[in-house]
Chain A
Amino acid sequence: MTEQTASSLTNEIDPLVAAELMTLQVAAVIFIVAALISMLFWIMRSRPMGIGSYILGLAGAISLTATLVIRTIHTGHVPYVQLYETFIFSAWACAIVAVFADPWMKSRLPSTIANILSAVLLLYVWQFYDGPTEGQRLRAVLQSPWLDIHIATAFLGYAAFAISAGAGIVYFFTKNPKVDDLSYRMVAFGFPLLGLCIIMGAVWANEAWGRYWGWDPKETASLVTWLIYAGYLHARLAFGWKGTRASILNLVGFGCVIFTWIGLNIVAKMIELETLHAYTG
């Protein structure tokens, strides 16, 4: 953090920035407590603990919603451009998906995984915080309504895949078919969302760059991720793959998600790969 931003934080802090940081810190604390209670729930099998962890996850999601709204007002755009913003948005997406997945799956596993993931993301997000970026606005190409739907669907899909991958890991230890089924259902939820993200991106690319598909590394990596999950669904529905084999394929898919989100940017910097998607700091 530069000297200037540090002093602006202490002396001339914008009320919006203060509110953003406060709600973010509150959310981080909530998710840490929720993650601990979620884990205790599985050890002690206490029903109140299960309900408590779910409610805490919901409270964390509300607090993060406030963070995102405040940052949107502050920066003038929906916050998923910088890495700092995408981490917050990812934590929020995990929490929101779990809020709906728990009752749908009749299980506390989605909220447990989401609470742990959100806690880790919010502990790590400070690595990317670069001070209040007042006046930071979007680049010309990003000034499009397509940005909102394109990125939002991507992160909601990623969140579903993350919960699915978490369930896949749990399956390795428990060999519980219900966990395996939950893992599949989360992929089935995330797969159309990722498809929507790719297609919305194609429509937007057609408006901005003159082609809907240009084999840009980010586009290709997203497509590869989608194809791997398509392989997973086919293997599961048509070949009857279940349990360990399906979970391994699921984790390969999630590896691709991580690569598409963060890994590709690192590789691109390492080997000077040109990508039109290099916006994040």
Chain B
Amino acid sequence: MAEKENKNGSPGNGSPENGMGLFDLIGLAFVDLYKGILVIPSVLRSLRFAVWVLIILAIMGLIGAILPQEHLSHDLAEFGEKYANLFDVIPGDGQLSTGEFIYYGLIVPFDLYDVFRSGLFFTLAVVLGISSVLCAWDRLKIGRVLLSKTRPVVSEKTITGMSSSVEINLDDNAEKSAEKTRKLLKRRGFQIFEEMGDSGTAYIFTRKNSFRHAISAMFHFAFVLVILGLIIGNERVAGYGDHMILGEGDTKLIGQELHRQAEAEAAGQAYEPNEDVLIQLVDYENVYREGYFDGLDEQTGMPIGYHGDPSDYVSHLRIVRPVGDGEYEVIKERMVEMNKPLRYGGVTYYQSAYDYIMHFTITAPGQQPIPAATTLGRPMSIPSLGLNVTVEVWDIAGGKWVAEDGTESELPYVIRLVDYSHQGHGGGAVLLGYITEDTYLELDGTRITLDSIEEYSVIQYRHDPSVPVFYTGSFLLLIGLTIALYFPYRTGRVMIRPDGNKSVLVAGGSWPDFTEILEKNLPGGSSEKG
């Protein structure tokens, strides 16, 4: 409408001073908006648009791969340490450094510190999904047209317009040459569509792997399934998960009940159990296998070697139903290790970590013994010595030792107490000594006895209904990609015209090999490439 007015010489630039009222303006805005909305489907089904979205997602992904991803406070005073170092942020200095400018100008507005959970990333993924569906649908339509009875035109012009073309003088007459060409192409798996011209000229349109368009559509739909899987599995949509800490002999709520309990608490409602089954940790064990370590340490008798981790972490888990008097009926049982999870009721339980609570008695000279407890890597205070000692992970064993010949034996717990208080202040870590269960370590008259060790297994649980969707999408995507890329759609056009007793073949193909096939396999004289 505005265009028309301008063409008619009206000055209207849309301002009320030029004779347009407010309602006219609103009307025009709606017209423009409507036109804009009409454009959206064509933009979405444009492959170019999809590729741009793909590139933006790739750039965001690259940033997400490089930048530590954690939800940070926008307040400089609570700024994450890694980001502070990375962007040279000095809280409270009142100056804006280049790093701070990048952070506040780029990282914060686009949520790049938490890219994969940002609204922008989610929106772009959805847009890419929609765009892929539309593009795939269009591919399917193109495929249907190609497979229809209407054949593309074969002429000298369309032949020479193809990516490679050739003209070959053949010794046989046109009829015989056409027959040989047909046989050759059929042998190579081509479909042939032929028309004869008035002057005895044969026009052949040929194609190979025409199923490729349907396959192309299929794997684009499959890609959408993959994206859909990622969306469904998101904890904001249908997935859930957390971890549970189980001590040996502990019996706790199963994953789905823990989730229901958390949901009820969040909603301020009373939790009522849905299922009467529980999860139980019968035993947890670190397994050390000979061959995974250089050998046993002479001083401690513990395995040492390439790295200090055990060969396996094994939780003996049971799904049980209480039957009264502290007795349980076992419903499912499994030794859960890395790569060997337990599955029950749509929830999967994985071995995630382990921990110990170590109970000590500290006896200072002339004082009453005091109990103390700590976990791995945490400092423990020894008041009589004025020390905070740390229990080292590296030297704690305790578990099963499996020799090369398969014989098993129990390894004792040996822990190392280290004083880190001088580290970074002109001193280093000070090894205070080793201690095993039921033995003690004496430091300046203070006796530290290791009384007992409680073993804990950290089990991760997760419910993800998207797994079948994701796997189906991935499988179809791969199959489709492989077929489409290794068996590409090929077309060729051939025109064979009489030339006295001989004939001339003019051919063009959508890829260079097509003309080479004809040149090598048809007996003839000179050929001229286009």
Using a CB–CB cutoff of 8 Å, the interface residues on chain A facing chain B are 76, 133, 135-137, 139-141, 143-144, 146, 177-178, 181, 188-189, 191-192, 195-196, 199, 202-204, 206-213, 215, 217-218, 220-221, 223-224, 227-228, 230-231, 233-235, 238-239, 256, 264, 267, 271-274
Contact = CB atoms under 8 A, between A and B. Distances in A.
Nearest to B81: A272
B512 A181 contact: yes
B190 interface: no
Nearest to B461: A210
A47 B212 CA distance: 37
Give the dominant DSSP class at A's interface.
helix
Contacts of A218: 65
B471 A139 contact: no
A202 B474 contact: yes
Contact of A210 (B61, B460, B512): B460
A136 B306 contact: yes
B335 interface: no
B174 to A, nearest CB: 31
Interface string B263-307: 000000000000000000000000001011110000000000111
A256 B115 CA distance: 19
A201 to B, nearest CB: 11
Given A188-B486, A192-B485, A144 B339 contact: yes
Interface stretch (B34-42, B152-160, B476-484): B476-484
Contacts of B57: 227
Among all A-B residue pairs, the 4 with the closest Cβ atoms? A137-B292, A220-B65, A140-B338, A188-B485
Interface string B302-316: 000111011111000
A140 B478 contact: no
Given A188-B485, A207-B340, A223-B61, 10 more contacts: A135-B291, A135-B305, A136-B306, A137-B291, A143-B312, A143-B339, A208-B338, A231-B54, A233-B485, A274-B68
B464 interface: yes
Contacts of A228: 55, 58
Given A181-B512, A215-B116, A238-B47, A221 B350 contact: no
Given A140-B311, A202-B474, A274-B68, A227 B306 contact: no
Contacts of A136: 305-306
A271 B61 contact: no
A16 B70 CA distance: 46
Given A210-B241, A213-B230, A220 B61 contact: yes
Given A137-B291, A143-B338, A230 B54 contact: yes
Contacts of B309: 139-140
A210 B350 contact: yes
B462 interface: yes
Nearest to B226: A199
A126 to B, nearest CB: 20
Contacts of A233: 485
B66 interface: yes
A216 B47 CA distance: 29
Interface residues of B, number: 62
Contacts of B464: 211-212
B48 interface: yes
Contacts of B475: 199
B62 interface: yes
A271 B99 CA distance: 15
B317 to A, nearest CB: 14
A218 B478 CA distance: 20
B348 interface: yes
Nearest to B55: A231
Nearest to A217: B65
Contacts of A208: 338-339, 350
A217 B294 CA distance: 32
30 contacts: A76-B291, A135-B291, A135-B305, A135-B306, A137-B292, A139-B307, A140-B310, A189-B486, A195-B478, A199-B477, A202-B470, A208-B339, A210-B341, A210-B462, A211-B241, A211-B462, A212-B233, A212-B467, A213-B470, A217-B65, A220-B61, A220-B64, A227-B54, A227-B55, A231-B54, A231-B55, A233-B485, A234-B54, A271-B66, A272-B82
B51 A234 contact: yes
A188 B489 CA distance: 14
A231 B54 CA distance: 7
A221 B62 contact: yes
Nearest to A249: B55
A35 to B, nearest CB: 28
B111 interface: no
B470 A231 contact: no
Contacts of A140: 309-313, 337-339
Contacts of A177: 512
Contact of A207 (B50, B66, B339): B339
Contact of A224 (B58, B470, B478, B481): B58
A215 B69 contact: yes
Q: From A192, A209, A217, A239, name the one whose CB has the most chain B CB atoms within 10 angstroms.
A: A192
A161 to B, nearest CB: 14
Contact of A196 (B306, B470, B478): B478
B289 to A, nearest CB: 7
Contacts of A206: 467
B106 interface: no
B455 to A, nearest CB: 17
A230 B220 CA distance: 11
B86 interface: yes
Interface in B50-106: 50-51, 54-55, 57-58, 61-62, 64-66, 68-69, 82, 85-86
Q: From A195, A207, A227, A235, name the one whose CB has the most chain B CB atoms within 10 angstroms.
A: A227
Contacts of B350: 208-210
Nearest to A137: B292
Contacts of A217: 64-66
Given A137-B311, A209-B350, A210-B341, A267 B66 contact: yes
Contacts of A267: 66
A235 B52 CA distance: 10
A141 B478 contact: no
A198 B187 CA distance: 38
Contacts of B460: 209-210
Contacts of B65: 217-218, 220-221, 224, 264
A215 B338 contact: no
Given A140-B313, A221-B65, A195 B477 contact: yes
Contacts of B241: 210-211
Given A227-B57, A239-B48, A199 B68 contact: no
Q: From B306, B352, B461, B488, name the one whose CB has the most chain A CB atoms within 10 angstroms.
A: B306
B64 A210 contact: no
Contacts of A209: 350, 460
A231 B311 CA distance: 42
B476 to A, nearest CB: 11
Contacts of A203: 471
Contact of B294 (A135, A141, A192, A235): A135
B67 to A, nearest CB: 8
A199 B337 CA distance: 22
Contact of B478 (A137, A199, A271): A199
A199 B51 CA distance: 22
A199 B467 CA distance: 12
A178 B474 CA distance: 33
